[in-house]
Amino acid sequence: MKYSNKTLTLIITALICFSLLTGCYYQSYDSSKQLHINADLDLPIVRPDGLATDNAVIPYDAYIYDDNDFEFGAGLLINQTKNEVVYAANPHKRIFPASMTKVLTALVVIDAVNRGQISLNDTVVIGKKIEFNEDNVAVLGLKTGDYITVNDLMHGLLIASLNDCAVVLARYVGGSVGKFVELMNNKAIELGATNSHFVNPHGLHDNKHYTTPYDLYLIFKEFLKNDTLLQIDSKSTYTLTYSRDGEKVSTDITSTNAFLSNSFDMPTGYHITGWKTGTTEKAGNCIILEFVSDDTGDKYICLVSNAKDHEALYQNVYDMLKRIY
């Protein structure tokens, strides 16, 4: 078929317009605009829409801002009120979260409560023996046949970081620990924590159980939205009660947060809302918590991972807050 010059001109013009409108056109590559990737970092996975507008943004090539004064593996200090980064050290580095994992465990349990699947007042029967492959694991000591409420399990989980409480909650909500862990990973993805992978509800070490400081920040932000969880976190002590062989057993527990247990001085001018500590040999000493300025009301999420010891952990948190002007 032959076309006149005028017709050919019209066809070519139409094709060009169509390409421009649909974005199907060639654009030369500008090498000056290529993405910089730090080779020491894990490559990111695309996060959900709206993440950048709802949270503080830390570029993936941000490796460290200032490490002269601190001795830890990774850390964050974020102004939650303004979504601004005050300090960041290795924010996208893969870390072992230890018992900071229990922040996500608590979220999955609360989701089940909010759906009406379970209630905090439910009484749970320990139907299967609880075992760990490590020594010196913090536990309440629950045994087969014991009775305990979901509410008391949650207090044991968050205040004293009791690992058997995490297992019992996982079995009760998920039907099994494995199915509960699936819920944990799904929740993490939902929150944008896509560089994380969890294999248990308590955080005892496993090489396949990891996260990043930034992912934990995203998970912890969701934790802070729940009044029930914050109410539990506000307590420095609590009396856990369960039943064994028809007898009532009471155990006093103390917060693992040294700021709340008064074993380390609280930073002047701030108060704490939510928090979670963690310690294993591989993870080191860890903590994530929210401070609120008594003067301005600004909220700050602070995370320290892999501090060399208990004292260094809290001293580094204290020193990090000095970065707030």
CA separation, residue 247 to residues 126, 139, 148, 241, 243 (Å): 15, 20, 12, 10, 5
CA 108, CA 174: separation in Å to the nearest integer?
A: 9
Q: Residue 41: what pLDDT?
A: 40
Least confident of 66-75, 86-95, 178-187, 230-239: 66-75
pLDDT in tens, 183-219: 999 999 999 999 999 999 999 999 999 999 999 999 9
In a domain, 15, yes or no: no
Least confident of 28-37, 128-137, 231-240: 28-37
Residue whose tokens read 């996060």: 47
**pTM score, two decimals?**
0.83
Q: Residue 208: what pLDDT?
A: 98
In a domain, 252, yes or no: yes
In a domain, 59, yes or no: no
Q: Residue 17: what pLDDT?
A: 43
Q: How many CB atoms lie within 10 A of CB 122?
A: 14
| Banded model confidence at residue 68, pLDDT cuts 50, 70, 90 | low
Least confident of 227-236, 248-257, 311-320: 311-320
In a domain, 247, yes or no: yes
In a domain, 14, yes or no: no
> What DSSP string runs through 73-105?
SEEEEEETTTTEEEEEESTTS-B--GGGGHHHH
More reliable by pLDDT, 58 or 291: 291
CA 178, CA 39: separation in Å to the nearest integer?
A: 33
pLDDT in tens, 20-36: 333 333 333 333 333 22
Strand partners, 123: 149
pLDDT in tens, 138-188: 999 999 999 999 999 999 999 999 999 999 999 999 999 999 999 999 999
Q: Residue 4: what pLDDT?
A: 52
**Cα radius of gyration rounded to whole Å, the chain:** 25
CATH number at residue 309: 3.40.710.10
| Banded model confidence at residue 60, pLDDT cuts 50, 70, 90 | low
In a domain, 109, yes or no: yes
User: What DSSP designation does 273 have?
Assistant: E
In a domain, 78, yes or no: yes
CA 218, CA 55: separation in Å to the nearest integer?
A: 8
In a domain, 9, yes or no: no
Q: Please tell me the total count of domains within the chain.
A: 1
166 is written with which tokens? Answer: 């995490």
Residue range(s) defining the domain that contains residue 162: 74-321
